[in-house]
Amino acid sequence: MPTTFNRREFLKRVAFASTICGGATYLAWAPEDYPLSLKDFTGARSIPKPQQFTLPDYRVTLPPGVPEIGIGRDMTTSGRLTKALDAIGGLTQFVQPGDVVLLKPNVAFDRSPELGATTSPELIEVLIKRLLIDCRAQEVRVADNPIESPADCFAKTGIKDAVEKAGGRINLPDGNAFRILQTPGAELIRSWPCFYRPLIGVTKVIGVAPVKDHNLSGASMGIKNWYGLLGGQRNQFHQDIHTIIADLSIMIRPTLTILDGSRILMRNGPTGGDPAYVKPWDVIVAGTDQVAMDAWAFVNLLQRDESKLPHYLYLAEKKGGGKIDASNRILEVS
């Protein structure tokens, strides 16, 4: 340390002080659009901007004349799936080699498959094998955001074993997996947190839903299944469940929807809980018009009166989610 203070030293220190203070002044006070400016006079810049995204249309254009809805009846899962899919032109129409496919089963509850509250693991297994072997899909992902513990729900519904056996991959939701989904045409969920991570890079989406009684809305089938892609405070949805389900019908345009009619939960839905409530059946419905499929399943699988169709189907039809009247678009193979 020099004991005397010379001019050079003085200038050096002044230069040092002015650089530090000048730099700090620029960062703190330069107008907000200047480079490196950190100014936030109103506080608006520090409000976090949620990362948003929109979903593409996953539908494929089909040759004219092919029915939109196929119904397969057979004693085996693979038989009824084949029949249903062949009626609408076969699975290879929908999934091409190299596609990354997302399957969305209903794994909402920690229940045995026998209770009919979730999608059958047998169907998932057969479907994944078809996608990987017949269609040569690059990857099949399986995702759902259950109501109960995700790890448990996938394990105890048997879906986990089925997916692993068939060669698919399960995506469990965690805190970082959600982003805000923008759905311009929706009424209530125009922007809502959606399970985003499994959707990255996906080219085809297939919904695989069980057919269940549902206390509030009447029935939970293909459209209601997309509830499981959303996060956030879903428990508010019940305040206007019909509008929500109608919104779901246009939120995502899946490549294909499959209704699993092997175990139909006839009452005490959507949780069930007693095997006596479950009606084992031999039907699978596959198609591209969810509204028509749900209407058909409501009448033919849940065996309810056609005049009591859930209100959300009419709302969904009005929003453009599909058409209730399935005549001339349906082909039944048994």
Judged by CB under 8 A, which of 119, 120, 257, 271 binds another protein?
271
Nearer to another protein, 277 or 298 (CB): 277
CB atoms within 10 A of CB 112: 14
Q: Which stretch binds another protein (CB under 8 A): 9-17, 71-79, 127-135, 173-181?
A: 173-181
Judged by CB under 8 A, which of 96, 216, 303, 320 binds another protein?
216
- Residue 40 near another protein by CB under 8 A: no
The phi and psi torsions of 106 (rounded to 5 degrees) equal -100, 105
Q: How far apart (Å, rounded) are the C-alpha atoms in residues 80 and 122?
A: 12
Judged by CB under 8 A, which of 52, 76, 96, 236 binds another protein?
236
- Residue 189 near another protein by CB under 8 A: no
- Which 274-303 residues touch another protein, going by CB under 8 A? 274, 277
For residue 296, the minimal CB distance to another protein (Å) is 24
DSSP state for residue 93 in the 8-state scheme: G
- Residue 61 near another protein by CB under 8 A: no
- Picking from 68, 64, 72, the residue whose alpha carbon sits closest to that of residue 332 is 72
Q: Which stretch binds another protein (CB under 8 A): 70-78, 124-132, 143-151, 318-326?
A: 143-151
- Residue 213 near another protein by CB under 8 A: no
Parallel/antiparallel/unpaired status of strands 204-214 and 139-143: unpaired
**Residue count, binding to another protein (CB under 8 A):** 35
Q: How far apart (Å, rounded) are the C-alpha atoms in residues 255 and 92?
A: 12
Nearer to another protein, 155 or 309 (CB): 155
For residue 93, the minimal CB distance to another protein (Å) is 34
- Picking from 245, 262, 265, 254, the residue whose alpha carbon sits closest to that of residue 289 is 254
Judged by CB under 8 A, which of 130, 141, 156, 319 binds another protein?
156
Q: How far apart (Å, rounded) are the C-alpha atoms in residues 143 and 154?
A: 9
Q: How far apart (Å, rounded) are the C-alpha atoms in residues 254 and 180?
A: 19
- Picking from 244, 217, 210, the residue whose alpha carbon sits closest to that of residue 308 is 217
- Residue 141 near another protein by CB under 8 A: no
CB atoms within 10 A of CB 92: 14
Distance of CA 186 to the CA centre of its chain: 15
CB atoms within 10 A of CB 27: 13
Nearer to another protein, 111 or 130 (CB): 111
The one-letter amino acid code at 294 reads: D
- Residue 151 near another protein by CB under 8 A: yes
- Residue 152 near another protein by CB under 8 A: yes
Task: Report the interface residues with another protein, using CB under 8 A.
Answer: 109-112, 147-152, 155-156, 160, 172-176, 214-216, 233, 235-236, 238-241, 268, 270-274, 277
